[in-house]
Structure formats: C-alpha cells, structure tokens
Structure 1
Amino acid sequence: MEPPEVTVLIHRAAKGDGAAWNAIVDEYSGLLWSVVRGFRLNEAQAADAVQTTWLRLVEHVADLREPEHVAGWLKTTAHRVCLQVIRQGGREQLTDWDEDRGPVSGARYDGPDEDGPEAAALRREHQVLVRRALAALPDRHQQLMELLIASPPISYQDISARLGMPVGSIGPTRARILARLREALATAGLEDLVLR
C-alpha cells in the first residue's frame, strides 16, 4: 500500500470508519503476527500481544504524527508489548524447593513464598470480582471477550462472522469493554488489577 493511501486510511479510521479499520487490519495483521512469533511466545500470549498492539493503535490512531509510517509504529509497539509479556512471565517462574537445601538443581529462588493461604484467598477474591464484572456485561460483550481470549486464537474475520459484527468495530468495542471493566474493578477497590 502506498504512503498516501495509508495516510487516508488512518485518517478515516480515526474518524471511526469501519471499512478503513478493516483495510488496516487486513494489510498489517500478517506483519504483527510475524513480529510476535519472533518472540516465541505461547499461543495465548502471542494472541494477547497482537490484540494489545491493535488496542494501542485504536487508542492512539488520532495521535499518529506520521500516519504513513503506521507499519513501523505497529512493529515497534508489538515489540514493546512482547517484551512486557516476557518481563511479566519472568516473574512467575516455579522453583523446586528442598526444606534442608533450598533451591534444588539450579532452580531459581526469588524470595519468600508468596503463595501462602492469605495470597491464595486474596487471589480467589479477585477472581470472583473479575468474574462478576464480566457477568455484568451485556451478553454480546461477554461473547466477544470469550472469542478474543480463545485458544487457539480466532481471527477477527471469524469473530466478525460469528457475531455479525464488522471487523473494524471489534478492536474499538474491545477497548470500550476493557474500559468498563477497569471502572468496575476500580469501584470494587481493585485498582491494582490493571486490564490491558
């Protein structure tokens, strides 16, 4: 796609044009997946990274200074999202522990056990509150979120066909749903649970 065409599409997408969003997604989905696959994430992490990158574009499409370079912007954003996923994953490593010797056979130890009964109870309480917030969504929004987090990932085209929803409105709708969930969680006192 030529730079002037890309610029026109970005400007139209910023104004909410669904056909422009469809064209952007069709043009750059392969690029995003190739960047994300280079990080060797598992399927769910890769799908989340791609969707998060699209969400970032939805959030910033009107702010792009050089819309003709959206491909580079998407690559850089996907790269950053993947690095964030890897950093977060590095904090969640399991260790083998021997009461007498400590970490076994080179296993990593990151400090005291934070998985005690209090932490487990708090985690369950958070899960219940998140499920309640999800259950409060309209059925159509619940269905969309289920399809977006499915493993293996479902393409936007398949989601569109299943829900009868234009491909270009999937990302913006997801952004609105996540904003609504963030509000509900903040109201429940869970500001520390950030939905991205």
Structure 2
Amino acid sequence: MRGLVERAARGEQESWDALVERFAPLVWSVARGYRLGQADASDVSQTVWLRLVEHLRDLREPQALPGWLATTTRHECLRVLRRAGREVPDDDPAGGVAERPSGEPGPEALAVRGERDVLVWQALQTLSDRCHLLLRTLACSPEASYAEVSAALEMPIGSIGPTRSRCLAHLRKALAGVGVTGPD
C-alpha cells in the first residue's frame, strides 16, 4: 500500500487508477449509506477523490487511507445533506402545505424513525473502526462481493463473515444498552 500511495502522490497515473479502482466501492458505499441520490452520491465521490489529490502528500500513514476516505466521504455527505436540507421547500408556491406522496410515512413515524436512527448511529460510533467500516460497507453495498469488500478494506475474504458476526453482536449489545431491540 505504501508504494502505491507514494507513486500516486508523485502523480503516476497507473497508481491513481489502482487507488480509485481499489477504494471506489468504499467511497460509494459510504455515500449511498447516507441515502443520497445517484447524482449527489456521484458528486460526493468526485469531491472525495479531489480532496485526496489535494491531501495525499499530507497522508503520513498510507495504511490509514481507507479510514481517511471513509471519514472524508462522511463529512462530504453531511455537507450535501445540510445543503439539501436548506433547499427543500416546506410549502407549495400557492402558500398551502405541500402534499405528501401516498405511501410516505407521516410526521410521527418520521420522528420515531429519526430517534431510532440517531441511536443506531450512536451505537455504530461505539464500535471499533474496523467493525464500523465493515458493517457500513456491507450494508451500503449489498451488491458488492466479498472479494470487492476484501480488496477495499484489505481484509482476508475468509475473515469477513466471522468478523461481521462479531461486529453485529457488538452492535446488538450497544443497541440493547440504549433500548433498541428490534426492527421498527
């Protein structure tokens, strides 16, 4: 990894291509985990790679690159969500309250879901970085093969399943500690 990062920092195109190919599933999975639309997730991904171009030479420990990418992606997703939150109108142009499309949950359900989601995110933050990243990658990229997850996280394929089980057990314990015991 160190050599690949150093070559990319020197501007070698093949090394950049290898970094993008290796870590694009990670960046994409984190972005999709924030339920961004295709266009916003693509924008986030492009911004993250731009930030890497700007800061790759500052990266002191090349092994920290997956964590740096995940953290940068999270920050960029939050920025996009904050921006989008300011742009979504609450009322229609005629002055009335905008109608909710049928099938969408009402305000009460959204409030309960929001409270639960906050607790889940807090529980995820108590997990080790390895567990947090593995669970997010698996949850946000269900179409990703174990081989892709293995490459993105630099984890042996054979350890993904057992590690996932241990991480889920830790997550269940953390959630039970705050009163979240099952789905909705």
Using structure 2 for the length normalisation, give the TM-score. Answer: 0.50
The SS at the match of 2:55 is helix
Q: 1:82 aligned to 2:63?
A: no
Query: Map of 1:79-158 to 2, 5 A cutoff?
Result: 79-96=74-91, 104=97
The SS at the match of 1:28 is helix
Residue 154 of structure 2: aligned partner:
none
Aligned partner (choices 48, 53, 66) of residue 58 of structure 1: 53
Residue 7 of structure 2: aligned partner:
12
- After superposition, the C-alpha distances for 1:116-169 in whole angstroms (9 at most, x for unaligned) are xxxxxxxxxxxxxxxxxxxxxxxxxxxxxxxxxxxxxxxxxxxxxxxxxxxxxx
1:50, 1:87 → 2: CA distance? Answer: 17
1:86, 1:69 → 2: CA distance? Answer: 26
Residue 41 of structure 1: aligned partner:
36
- Paired residue type of 2:6: H
1:21, 1:34 → 2: CA distance? Answer: 20
1:74, 1:98 → 2: CA distance? Answer: 40
Residue 96 of structure 1: how far off its partner (Å): 2.1
Of Structure 1 and Structure 2, the greater helix share is in 2
- Paired residue type of 1:29: A
- Note closer, same or farther for the CA distance 1:16–1:106 as it changes in structure 2 (3 Å cut): same
Residue 58 of structure 1: how far off its partner (Å): 0.5
Residue 104 of structure 1: how far off its partner (Å): 2.9
Query: Map of 1:147-186 to 2, 5 A cutoff?
Result: none
- Paired residue type of 2:34: F
- Paired residue type of 1:40: R
Residue 105 of structure 1: how far off its partner (Å): 7.1
Residue 95 of structure 1: how far off its partner (Å): 2.9
- Note closer, same or farther for the CA distance 1:74–1:106 as it changes in structure 2 (3 Å cut): same
| Overall identity of the aligned pairs, in % | 48
Whether the 8 Å contact between 2:90 and 2:98 is mirrored in structure 1 is: no
Unpaired segments of 5 or more residues in structure 2?
Answer: 101-184
Whether the 8 Å contact between 1:14 and 1:62 is mirrored in structure 2 is: yes
Using structure 1 for the length normalisation, give the TM-score. Answer: 0.47
Q: Superposition RMSD on alpha carbons, in Å?
A: 2.1
Unpaired segments of 5 or more residues in structure 1?
Answer: 1-5, 108-196
- Note closer, same or farther for the CA distance 1:97–1:33 as it changes in structure 2 (3 Å cut): closer
Whether the 8 Å contact between 1:36 and 1:46 is mirrored in structure 2 is: yes
The SS at the match of 2:87 is coil
How many residues in Structure 1 have an aligned counterpart in Structure 2? 100
Residue 23 of structure 1: aligned partner:
18
- After superposition, the C-alpha distances for 1:102-121 in whole angstroms (9 at most, x for unaligned) are 663799xxxxxxxxxxxxxx
Residue 98 of structure 1: how far off its partner (Å): 8.5
The SS at the match of 1:30 is helix
